[in-house]
A and B are shown apart, each in its own frame.
Chain A
Amino acid sequence: MKSLMTGNEAIARGAWEAGVRFATAYPGTPSTEILENIAGYDEIRSQWSVNEKTALETALGGSIAGVRTLCAMKHVGLNVAADPLFSSAYMGVNAGLVIVTADDPGCHSSQNEQDNRNYAKAAKLPLIEPSNSQEAHDYIKVAFELSEAYQTPVLFRITTRLAHGKSTVAIGERVDVEPREYVRDVSRFVLMPAQARACHVALEDRLVKLEDYACSTQLNRVEWGSRKLGIICSGVAYHYVHEVFGDDASYLKLGMSYPFPKQMVRDFAAEVDRLVVVEELDPLIEEAVRAIGIEVEGKSLLPRAGELDSSIVARAFGKADDEIPVPEKVTARPPMFCAGCPHRGVFYELGKLPVVVTGDIGCYTLGSLPPFAASDTCICMGASISAGIGFQTAFSIIDPDNSRRAIAVIGDSTFYHSGMTGLLDAVYNGVGLITVILDNRITAMTGHQENPGSGYTLSGQTALEAKPEEIAKAFGIERVSTVDPYDLDQVKKALKDSLADPRPSVIVSRAPCALLKREAVRKSPYYVDQDACRKCKVCLKVACPALYVEDGMVRIDVAACVGCGICAQACRFGTIKQIEKAGEN
């Protein structure tokens, strides 16, 4: 019997079957589970890299050295890795190298919905796009063969629906692939101008050959139905449009859309009365069709923004005349800091200060929402510190004598990813930015992945622990403090001291994520002394899911409360008290 697998599980399995020996990634939704699953295969050495750039450079090195290597990241991660991506196309590979980009149409958990198919065209790399888990499993194996046959990295693009959607997969067996001999070759592995010019010419030749391949590969296939309507599609869009039309249309399904299989498209277009491209996000296929002089419809019917579904496709073709059901208006249910989250106290205090807080990517982006409304920005990984430098500098230009202060807030994993360079920038340029590093001992947002500070690797081996305080001191920062975020007085004092100091400073707020079982400590829960409570509801400003109001009285859910005590410190009348455990006192 076939088993249900997510696209990410299927990619991991397919990569293992393809003889992959090495895999690198930085976690990012929806790509994270690819490496988490790969880590379960003993034959593959796998690692969390510090960021996507180091992940791809490491993978490229592994490929050139001779082992089949996979590198995975979310779509915005490829922006970070864009520099080695472009070089890798010029250099080519030795053993197969496949780069998985997990795009997020609909921005389910991302800051944008960029379409990374654009990178294939920009960097001149073959692009493979599966439509379901079975294809993800099968195509990743083809991708490695293609990579070695044409000596090119392959960009393998999936989307959230595929990455996290489960569908049936028939699996295969692993093929052990011998390492390829590494031969020193400065003509392609040293990209100085003279070499790069020649590499570019070779790359253009390779693209011509890859286009021939694209026209003959099984990844691109025609499914004939009614010839009144011809649909060109790729990725999950194929299933939406196939659900709507079934046999009432013919399909050119592109599993490899770059280099663009021009002749195949010409042949298909010649056979159908009306030609439409159905693709999510950017009109890449549509523009490529138009560029070869073929009349085609696409984004004139379908949206450029957001995820597609079968209903959107049906309506685009006038196939659904019922009204779109209107949702009920219901109180929102945004995500919130968990009970006992160590970020809560920091944002509770930051929200009271007359400062600008530059935020970053992680659970703590929620610190921008009410009731904290503390952070002002969320740009991209690591930007809290660098944008904070910009804010602090601009404030000092505007009012040199009494400039407003900026405080950057960044998580541990994000700090290692790309916050460290910004911090050095602050020191080098003498900018009095205050940086708060929220060290919760894990990469929490993406589901608890290890990082350079957590003490463990992806495969569970112990690792040296990076220390943010030592890094800051090594950079030359003199005011470096460490606080317990469950002690609001400590947090307040550290912030006050930093605000009184014009130099750059760092505050490390250290406590494990409340969900991190190996480190988090669950203490005795708190309760509200109802006789003494003045019902001011100030405690609700800490926005804890364990606190609720019933019949006008604030109560604490003892099952949810982990005893962090932030609410008790927010209470001005001392009426929130800890339950004494039996046997204590």
Chain B
Amino acid sequence: MLTKRVIPCLDVHDGKVTRGVQFGRAEDGGLRNVGDPVELALRYNQQGADEMVFFDITASAHGRASMVDVIERTAAQCFMPLTVGGGIRSVEDMRTMLQAGADKISINSSALTHPELITAGAERFGSQCIVVSIDAKRTRPGFWEVHSHGGRKATGLDAVEWAVRAYHLGAGEIVLNSIDADGTKAGYDCVVTRLVSESVGVPVVASGGAGNLDHMAEVLLEGKADAVLAASVFHYGQYTVAQVKAHLATKGIPVRPEQLAHP
């Protein structure tokens, strides 16, 4: 049986892992440095993380160069799937990250301004490589509006509709991040996660709002997510990946057990 994935996310700013309190604060200096990305990646690797996501929140040329270095060093030591996002604007940017050792590329604002980038990436590298990340904010009952540029710019688009369109354009996976929930530790938005998950034919990763172990179980069960992504709960040592998996298993959710080979 395919297991549900637990994915730590590392927000990288100039080669260091940082964590903003809520969306949009990154540029206001509201960032806390929580360590070296490669060191953290190795720790999560040992804890049994199923994948890892690196997010370049600088999204500048300089930030991208240091991200390439982070990915190269991580890929040489962590033998698990790695996703890179933030500031990817072209097929060439994608190729750079894949050659550095990334397995998947996550695009967000650039997919909104240039939806054809989804298709171009999927045609060149395969759909499984192209992740479309969506920042959604509930602006009225039953309506989740897509935001771009790190959650600062409202687009007027319906998050579910955009997810379906991204899927048809060739996205192989959708990351759905709830802006309302992000950084609040009040739980994932199960409602919109479920709406998206039931509308697209590809896996959906829930992001934003993980505060405790039950939140993760909820979004996998009620939200029908295929994976959970979280940052703070892992970085600050609140939980280990292993603790998350143990809890999910008690709820009957299939997770990958820790396994060692002895060839």
Is B one of A's binding partners? no
Chain A residues within CB distance 8 Å of chain B: none
